[in-house]
């Protein structure tokens, strides 16, 4: 037991050190740091490194809480970068992706899963909801890379992808709950629909948003009041992490959507500083929580690589492979482009935003959450499908993201409305 413990410490140290130097090595090749870590995870599993590997599917509780932590930290990072620097008109494009792309994507997944793959209604709905959101964690390399300001802000692909990822994780949750309710009942009767609309849609979304806004607002208010001569005493490195845990914990205690609370807390954390044009006081440190995000992503990728070798995709069929490829290569890009029709974004920005609907850690959280709280049967194939879609997304987007972002950033940023 003790030898295994020290072995794990050694592996953690080697892996984090390697991840620290990877950006330097990979800069020449213009690929994501997640790809080498993914391969390393597969190698570690193959040589039987003593880590808690999947066997072959993920252990529900461990996976649930680990993926949950990665997602909420990524959402706080996204919220802090965006802040309140964008007008309602500039939010229209992300809202197009949420209001058009996401529901149409879910409809496609449901129809194919139900009528072609032969899944039950609740499993088809669950798969649609699980795969719907883009991932705020694995998509970090194509999102905003610093805190924005009113005078100098990104209005193109990076902003739109960050805003989409920040909101759609929380907005996919109602459909996860609808699938859970369906799994526990004989069908979606009027009573189930009423409960879902009133509580799981209206109440949990509204309360979640309000909690996040209030926490962010209160933080910005008190730090502004304390800023005169006292700012240096505030340990800003810990603030972003504290706001993440407080907003998420309070929202979940009050049965609201914590994902939305975290994102909105990040948006409103700069409220008073921005209104009073205070650039130096009370801003939560992005560097500290961003490094925590990267640290957690490294180990998530490590275990994901191990799960691939462990056989998590053993339940994949030829039909599922074609289905998964189509989702990443055809369905998301086409639906994303359709939703941006009529916007003033140029063609290249539209194509990049549409193409980079990255699937990742959020999907794993939703799937494990639903399995834990619902009454689904025959879920092994869902694990395989989700793992395959994530793998395709990681490989495809990991090889193209840096090149695409570089090409887009070399252009003059187009207006996003």
Higher-scoring residue by pLDDT: 170, 323:
323
- How high is the pLDDT of residue 414? 43
Per-residue pLDDT averaged across 113-132, rounded? Answer: 95
* Residue % of the chain over a pLDDT of 70: 91
Over residues 16-66, the pLDDT tens digits come to 887 778 777 777 777 888 888 899 999 988 988 887 787 777 788 888 999
Residue 85 located in a structural domain: yes
Whole-number average pLDDT of the chain = 86
Count Cβ atoms within 10 A of the Cβ of residue 157 and give its class: 0-12 exposed, 13-18 middle, 19 or more buried: buried
Per-residue pLDDT averaged across 302-307, rounded? Answer: 91
Q: What b/e readout covers 322-342, taking b as 16+ CB neighbours within 10 angstroms?
A: ebbeebbeebbbebbbebbee
Select the highest-mean-pLDDT range: 82-91, 322-331, 351-360.
322-331
pLDDT beyond 90 at 1 = no
Residue 244 located in a structural domain: yes
pLDDT beyond 50 at 415 = no
- How high is the pLDDT of residue 372? 94
- Among 50, 67, 63, residue whose Cα is nearest residue 9: 50
pLDDT beyond 70 at 188 = yes
- How high is the pLDDT of residue 236? 67
Q: What H or E segment, with its residue span, contains residue 271?
A: helix 271-275
Residue 178 located in a structural domain: yes
Q: Range with the lowest mean pLDDT among 93-97, 162-166, 169-173, 369-373? A: 169-173
> Which residues span the domain enclosing 265?
2-409
Over residues 246-292, the pLDDT tens digits come to 999 999 999 999 999 999 999 998 887 666 665 555 566 788 888 88
Residue 343: which pLDDT band, with cuts at 50, 70 and 90? confident
Residue 159 located in a structural domain: yes
pLDDT beyond 50 at 136 = yes
Higher-scoring residue by pLDDT: 256, 187:
256
Higher-scoring residue by pLDDT: 13, 93:
93
Q: Using the Cα atoms of residue 239, residue 70, residue 166 and residue 261 in order, give the sign of their dihedral.
A: negative
pLDDT beyond 60 at 2 = no
Residue 416 located in a structural domain: no
- How high is the pLDDT of residue 142? 80
Contact yes or no for 188/182 (Cβ under 8 A): yes
- How high is the pLDDT of residue 26? 72
* Residue % of the chain over a pLDDT of 90: 47
Q: How many Å apart are CA 93 and CA 353, to the nearest integer?
A: 10
CATH of the domain at 139: 1.20.1530.20
Q: How many domains does the chain have?
A: 1
pLDDT beyond 90 at 331 = yes
Residue 185 located in a structural domain: yes
Over residues 107-120, the pLDDT tens digits come to 999 999 999 999 99
Residue 97 located in a structural domain: yes
Per-residue pLDDT averaged across 343-367, rounded? Answer: 90
Residue 152: which pLDDT band, with cuts at 50, 70 and 90? confident
Residue 415 located in a structural domain: no
Residues 6+ apart with CB under 8 A from 356: 134, 139, 142, 157, 161, 397, 401, 404
pLDDT beyond 80 at 211 = yes
pLDDT beyond 50 at 313 = yes
- How high is the pLDDT of residue 354? 92
Residue 228: which pLDDT band, with cuts at 50, 70 and 90? low
Q: What b/e readout covers 68-85, taking b as 16+ CB neighbours within 10 angstroms?
A: bbbbbbbbbbbbbbbbbb
* SS3 assignment, position 22: helix
């Amino acid at each position: 037991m003790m030898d295994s413990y020290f072995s794990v410490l050694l592996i953690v140290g080697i892996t984090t050190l390697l991840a620290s130097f990877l950006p330097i090595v990979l800069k020449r090749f213009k690929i994501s740091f997640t790809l080498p870590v993914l391969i390393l995870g597969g190698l570690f599993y193959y040589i039987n490194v003593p880590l808690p590997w999947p066997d072959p599917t993920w252990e529900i509780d461990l996976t649930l809480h680990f993926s949950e932590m990665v997602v909420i930290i990524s959402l706080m990072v996204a919220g802090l970068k965006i802040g309140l620097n964008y007008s309602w008109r500039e939010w229209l494009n992300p809202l197009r992706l949420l209001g058009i792309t996401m529901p149409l994507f879910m409809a496609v997944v449901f129809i194919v899963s139900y009528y072609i793959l032969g899944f039950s209604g609740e499993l088809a709905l669950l798969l649609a909801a699980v795969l719907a959101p883009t991932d705020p964690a694995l998509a970090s390399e194509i999102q905003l890379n610093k805190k924005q300001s009113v005078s100098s802000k990104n209005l193109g692909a990076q902003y739109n992808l960050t805003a989409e990822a920040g909101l759609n994780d929380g907005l996919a949750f109602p459909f996860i709950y609808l699938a859970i309710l369906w799994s526990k009942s004989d069908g979606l009767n009027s009573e189930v629909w009423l409960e879902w609309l009133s509580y799981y849609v209206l109440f949990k979304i509204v309360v979640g948003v309000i909690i996040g806004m209030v926490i962010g607002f209160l933080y910005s208010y008190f730090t502004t009041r304390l800023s005169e001569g006292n700012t240096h005493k505030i340990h800003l490195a810990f603030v972003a992490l504290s706001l993440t845990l407080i907003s998420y914990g309070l929202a979940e205690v009050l049965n609201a959507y914590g994902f939305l609370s975290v994102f909105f807390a990040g948006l409103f954390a700069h409220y008073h500083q921005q209104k009073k044009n205070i650039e130096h006081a009370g801003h939560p440190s992005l560097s500290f929580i961003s490094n925590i995000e990267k640290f957690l992503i490294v180990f998530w990728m490590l275990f994901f690589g191990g799960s691939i070798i462990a056989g998590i995709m053993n339940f994949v069929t030829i039909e599922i492979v074609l289905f998964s490829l189509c989702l990443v290569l055809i369905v998301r890009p086409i639906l994303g482009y359709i939703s941006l029709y009529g916007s003033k974004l140029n063609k290249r920005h539209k194509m990049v935003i549409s193409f980079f609907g990255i699937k990742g850690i959020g999907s794993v959280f939703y799937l494990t959450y639903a399995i834990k709280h619902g009454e689904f049967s025959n879920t092994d194939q869902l694990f395989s499908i989700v793992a395959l879609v994530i793998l395709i997304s990681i490989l495809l987007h990991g090889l193209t993201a840096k090149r695409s972002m570089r090409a887009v950033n070399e252009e003059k940023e187009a207006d996003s409305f």
